[in-house]
Structure 1
Amino acid sequence: MDVLIFGDGPAARLAAIALAGLGLRVVRALPRPGLGPPPTTRHTHVVARTVLPSAAAIDAGLAQEITARIAPDCLWRQLTGDGCTEYTEPHISRAAIDSALAVCLARRPLEAWRDVTLTGRCGTRLSARSAAGAGVFDLVIDATGAHRATRAMLAPFAPAARLEDDGPVRLYQTYELALPAPQPLLHWSGPAVEGPTRALYGDFDGRRMRITAALGRGAPRIATLDDVARAVHPQVAALIPKGARLVRRTATIAPNYRRLRVPEAEMPNWIALGDARSQWPPRLGTGLSALFRQCRILQETLAGGGTPQEARTAIDTWLDTEWDKQMTLSAHLR
């Protein structure tokens, strides 16, 4: 089986590692010129018990590389209406995941093509070309995240393709504070409250503090540190040290999950992996965790003799089941 994978982020790299381990011919279609830089996300953590079982099933070497990059005893604080609960959990940064994938990817004899274009269909197979060559592929995987590199190419073959959001779309804003004195590494979450501004998650790391809040209708305009303190829950405001300064604000508009739906009748051998950047809430790593699970399902289905269509059905079934659940903050943190 010949496989073409679009993208160069964690989803594309993980899929390449998973399928190359089955002895398949894997061609990586790297980002095309003119499409802008690949999307990036600061995943502050991914729960180790979610990622490592999938990594171990996909590639033992990858699991070892990730394990070597885990901070095992990071302090977490769960804020509640009555106080807080402290516990320790592993910490895995996005940079650590990227580093482990790069090391594992370098061990594989993979082809890399640039400026790849889909040119036609031969039954259920798709033909593609680039400056490096041309070929006909049994399976094409879209792992570009926002799918901006592939939607235009899909138009002649799958005019009914569409982006689909699971769950309500919310505006999340992250406030980065400079602290007067260094603080030990601490992650906190909660409290679970309703209202126009809900502080969901934050961390202390040296001289930096970050607060991520979901902003709804009626949320106040936030421009200063005093605005932040007034907008968030009092338990969160109490964490802000005296002398802190607001130095940066970043915004993300995200649903619970986003993926590209391509009708199987139009494109039977096309698999679009869900977007790691669209996750609830941002920076908790739930989207990246889901990518590890999707790639595990992909590998297990094909290793068991399944067809690309069966792998696609298995991934879609899992996504429908997983992301139709009511997402709660504590479920992703604990």
Structure 2
Amino acid sequence: MKFQYPENVALNESETAVVILDQSILPNETRFLTLLTPESCYEAIQKLRVRGAPAIGIFAGYALYILSKTIRADSFPVFFQKLCEVGSYLNSSRPTAVNLSWAIKRMEKTAEKNQEKSIAEIIAILGKEAHAIQQEDIDMCHSISEYGLSLFKEGDGLLTHCNAGPLATSLYGTALGPMLLAKERGRNFHVFSDETRPLLQGARLTSYELQKAGIDVTLICDNMASLVMKNGWVNACFVGCDRVAANGDVANKIGTSGVAILAKHYGIPFYVLGPTSTIDLSCKSGDDIRIELRDPEEIREKWYREPMAPEHVKCYNPAFDVTDHTLITAIVTESGICRPPFTESLKKACQTSKYQSAR
């Protein structure tokens, strides 16, 4: 059986607003937000009301489309300048996830390629492009899930970090996709879900999605991963990605590199799953990836009734870390399973993806 989840990113009926499921308050409350302005769209990304690299890309496409309808311009140069200004503003909300800039550039290029048409026609074309971004993500996630399904077997124990399921994409997800597909096909296995500090995506979202799908899931604190691996309970690790460098270094939620180091120590395969849109061939290595720093208050007090740290204590709160390519067994894309040397396999994956013409 297929499992149904609330649609996390969509347009309203009149296509004048983006409607999102507010992920910041799950699992205790299900609330949808209708976003009409650049400021509300920026805030939704920055505050992680919409999150997950593919979902952010889909959201950015829809946001530029509905915001293009509010631009007042009599000529293409004026229209395009204002469209790019909105795109630049949205892109500044979160610097690490490449899908955000990828989708914005794709929408801008679409407008530029059609500059001989009327502004009304260009806006309509932008709408079709935004819908195409979402449909492509659905197709890519299904392909990624099929490839990932081949990497574990009946009765295995899996460990995942952060959240890379339907909430972070359009359907199935990336890291969680093979698990959901396996469950649909009757396979039995167990998943350990890291809580994922500091925003608890694993506790709030991954556990929610897997439990909703009827998958046997156990939530653990991040610092418990070593013990469950040592106990022999983990046969493979599956994680998503926000940006993949040309050499195979991967940026993902903070703590991912630690999981990879532990997996290497215990001889456990470590798999990264994501669409080719997260591969940034212009980024040579993880050293070139800008890491987002978040509000220290997320560590001091966000999840507590009262602060759990001394007032004014210094806090370092990076949202992501970079996992070195030498720790990664394979990177799974919609084009297939990429293995070392990643400089060759990732380039080939991008070249053979049928979605690359839109990049």
**TM-score, normalized by length of structure 2?**
0.25
Give the number of the structure whose residues are more often strand, by fraction: 1
Higher relative contact order (CA 8 A, sep 6+): 1
* Structure number with larger C-alpha Rg: 1
Larger helix proportion, structure 1 or 2?
Answer: 2
